[in-house]
Amino acid sequence: MRLGIIADTHGLLRPEVLTVFQEVDRIFHAGDVGSLDILSDLEAVAPVTAVYGNTDGFLLRDRLAAVVEVEVDGFRIVLTHGDTFGIPTPGTLNQAYPEAEIILFGHTHRPLLTIVDTVVTVMNPGAAGPRRFDLQPSVGIMELEAGIPPRARIVPLDAAR
């Protein structure tokens, strides 16, 4: 199973995202979506699981949860924007969700891919929307296969905007 991981689109879905995600089986959006149109465009590629972020308005908050816990191919995944932790860290997220094997979050706009406690994969795909904080926009790809640890990578996007 191949997952597309995205966060912090803030109303902008770059065309490169659709190219990077063209062969994913499922998409996870870690909040600050910006508009329902973003979710509709992503759903045209693959099924979407999303949470709202701190900048999302009432329309998105009415449709989405703050945290989603789901099992995919035998892996327990937690999806959160992470803003309730101030500046979320892998350690604080792991403490908050000790049963999770994969934790996906956004909020900081800084891409991160690490292992916590030798078995928990934590990923922030970075921000895929408008460029902020002089950080290159990015998304993540994660591959799941039963019996082996998740394989994941951060994919930089065109920083022209």
Q: In this predicted model, what pLDDT tens digit does every residue of 96-129 receive, in sequence order? A: 999 999 999 999 999 999 999 888 999 999 999 9
Continuous segment of H or E residues that includes residue 38:
helix 36-43
Contact 17, 29 (CB under 8 A): no
pLDDT (tens digit per residue) in 65-102: 999 999 999 999 999 999 999 999 999 999 999 999 99
Q: Residue 158's pLDDT is what?
A: 77
Separation between Cα atoms, residue 150 and residue 75, nearest integer Å: 9
- CA-wise closest residue to 108 among 95, 89, 129, 91: 89
Provide the residue ranges of all domains of the chain, joining segments of one domain with +: 2-156
CATH architecture for segment(s) 2-156: 4-Layer Sandwich (3.60)
What's this model's pTM, rounded to 2 decimal places?
Answer: 0.95
Q: Residue 46 above 80 pLDDT?
A: yes
Could you identify the residue written with the tokens 């969700």? Answer: 97
| Confidence class for position 131, pLDDT limits 50, 70, 90 | confident
- Positive or negative, the CA dihedral 9, 46, 111, 100 is positive
| Confidence class for position 161, pLDDT limits 50, 70, 90 | very low
| Confidence class for position 134, pLDDT limits 50, 70, 90 | confident
Q: Residue 132's pLDDT is what?
A: 83
